[in-house]
Amino acid sequence: MRLLLVEDDRLLGRGLRTGLSQRGFAVDWTETAEDAEAALETTAYDAVVLDLGLPGMDGLTLLRRRRAARDATPILVLTARDTVDDRVAGLDAGGDDYLVKPFALAELQARLRALVRRRAGEAAPTLRSGRIELDPAARTVRLDGAPVALSGREFSVLHDLMLHAGRIVSRGQLEDAVYGWGDEVGSNAIEVHVHNLRRKLGTDAVQTVRGSGYLVPAAPKAPVAP
């Protein structure tokens, strides 16, 4: 999952980037709303973590501008003060969720997973495709109920494909989802991850759509009880 972090407090920003990266998020970090806006113009993010108190343009203004520009990227607002007015302003301006500083990293991660899941139209905390079940919180994958060990990047590729199950995801989209700024991306990196996923999960786990990208089959809808 590709994440944009907007935080001018360097100590907090560094800590969040490290903590979130360790949990498999590809994190781009900017210290100003102006830089964040430029990044949002060019990159598709799964979610934004937005501090409200920023030098220059403040977070609330950026939030309103993105919504006015019809940018629907989920945005989680960080506020320094726990006042009702602050929280209401953040949500009314188009924020999807908020956290009051100081907060626990584990809670931020859980809220981000919930945001991304809801955006994908998925209410259940685990994702399914065929014989595969993926748990984003525990970062585990099971095949027919048996655990399968994946590398961090393999997990991220599979997670992004399963969030878009039944739809084609291009190689570029997968690179965006898995790698942040400054990460070295080999030209065939995604192919290698997909190759490994097929080796571990079965050749039909990830399908190649020639010239377009990859897809995992959507789980069949549960039958409706009469």
By CB under 5 A, tell whether 35 contacts Ca ion.
no
Q: Which of residues 126-155 bind Ca ion (CB under 5 A)?
A: none
Name the residue whose CB lies closest to Ca ion: 53
Number of residues that bind Ca ion (CB under 5 A): 3
Return all residues near 224 (Cβ < 8 A) that are at least 6 apart.
Answer: none
51 belongs to the binding site for Ca ion (CB under 5 A): yes
Q: Report helix, strand or coil for 171.
A: helix
Interface with Ca ion (CB under 5 A), residue from 19, 24, 53, 217: 53
CB-based contacts of 118, cutoff 8 Å, min separation 6: 74
The least distance separating Ca ion from the CB of residue 8, rounded to whole angstroms, comes to 5
For 48-114, the DSSP string reads: EEEES--SSS-HHHHHHHHHHTT----EEEEESS--HHHHHHHHHTT-SEEEESS--HHHHHHHHHH
Stretch that binds Ca ion, among 46-54, 89-97, 148-156, 194-202 (CB under 5 A): 46-54
Site string for Ca ion, 102-121 (x = CB under 5 A): --------------------
Q: Which is nearer to Ca ion, 1 or 78 (CB)?
A: 78
- Three-state secondary-structure class, residue 141: strand
> Using CA atoms in the order 167, 154, 12, 72, what is the torsion angle rounded to 10 degrees?
0
Report the relative pairing of strands 97-100 and 75-79 from DSSP bridges. parallel
- Amino acid identity, position 54: L
Nearer to Ca ion, 3 or 178 (CB): 3
Stretch that binds Ca ion, among 47-55, 56-64, 95-103, 204-212 (CB under 5 A): 47-55
Residue whose CB is less far from Ca ion, 82 or 183: 82
Q: Which of residues 4-23 bind Ca ion (CB under 5 A)?
A: 8
Per CB under 5 A, residues contacting Ca ion are 8, 51, 53
